[in-house]
């Protein structure tokens, strides 16, 4: 019998190994990851172009493609680890209340730039609080931010999904292994 190899440092790796050990979760991850990536790429363009035709996928930009790939892994992994926690209460421990946090904000922030850019939604909401020249001077920069700086919001959404995966993974993986002591402390006397 050979000694076990070093355990991974990241709780996400330990948790995904634990979850993927059950065949149903592994198959679900393999099925959901490409579907989620394709859905995200399609939704980002559908929200921006206002149509749901299959041909809109040819207009996916590099930041949108990278974001879709990140979410293709992060969202299904976070959802499956959270489902694993629900089915295995022994893993839940003290962080059970926090498991799943971050998924909804990741979904909302990820689609917000393309849903809000170049639509009358932002000026309509601002019109509730502002009027006249103030409305005209404020809505433009907000829509410009949503249109031009959307990759920043994509990064926030991906980090939120990763944070949710990390919170749930810590509950599944348990505490990190104690580091090995490689040498003795010499007595200074």
Look at the alpha carbons of 120, 37, 166, 84 in this order and tell me if their dihedral is positive or negative: positive
Residue 5 pLDDT exceeds 80: no
Nearest to 78 by CA among 39, 25, 9: 25
Alpha-carbon distance values, 32 to 35, 85, 143, 167 (Å): 5, 18, 32, 21
* Residue 138 in this model has a pLDDT that exceeds 90: no
Which tens digit of pLDDT belongs to each residue from 110-135? 667 766 666 677 777 778 887 777 77
Q: pTM above the 0.85 mark?
A: no
- Nearest CA to 6 out of 143, 180, 123 is that of 180
Alpha-carbon distances, residue 154 vs 10, 21, 37, 106 (angstroms): 23, 31, 14, 9
Task: Name which residue leads in pLDDT, 112 or 182.
Answer: 112
Tokens of 17: 């190994």
pLDDT at 141 over 50: yes
Residue 6, SS3 per DSSP: coil
pLDDT tens digits for 89-115? 655 454 444 555 556 776 776 667 766
3-state secondary structure of 140: helix
Domain ranges across the chain: 11-173
pLDDT per residue as tens digits for the range 73-92: 988 898 888 888 877 765 54
Segment 167-186 mean pLDDT: 56
What is the phi-psi region of residue 4: left when phi exceeds 0, alpha when psi lies from -120 to 50, beta otherwise? beta
Mean pLDDT of the 33-51 span: 84
**What pLDDT shows up at residue 73?**
92
Question: Which position has the higher pLDDT, 98 or 9?
Answer: 9
């Amino acid at each position: 019998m050979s000694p076990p190899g070093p355990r991974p440092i990241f709780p996400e790796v330990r948790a995904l190994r634990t979850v993927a050990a059950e065949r149903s979760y592994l198959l679900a991850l393999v099925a959901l990851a490409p579907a989620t990536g394709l859905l995200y790429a399609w939704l980002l363009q559908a929200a921006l172009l206002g149509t749901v035709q299959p041909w809109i996928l040819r207009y996916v930009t590099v930041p949108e493609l990278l974001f879709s790939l990140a979410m293709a892994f992060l969202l299904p992994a976070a959802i499956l680890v959270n489902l694993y926690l629900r089915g295995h209460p022994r893993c839940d421990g003290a962080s059970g209340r926090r498991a799943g946090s971050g998924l909804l904000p990741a979904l909302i922030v990820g689609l917000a730039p393309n849903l809000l850019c170049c639509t009358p939604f932002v000026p309509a909401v601002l019109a509730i609080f502002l009027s006249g020249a103030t409305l005209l001077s404020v809505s433009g920069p907000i829509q410009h931010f949503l249109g031009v700086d959307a990759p920043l919001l994509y990064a926030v959404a991906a980090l939120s999904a990763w944070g949710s995966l990390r919170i749930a993974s810590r509950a599944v993986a348990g505490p990190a292994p104690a580091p090995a002591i490689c040498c003795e402390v010499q007595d200074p006397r």
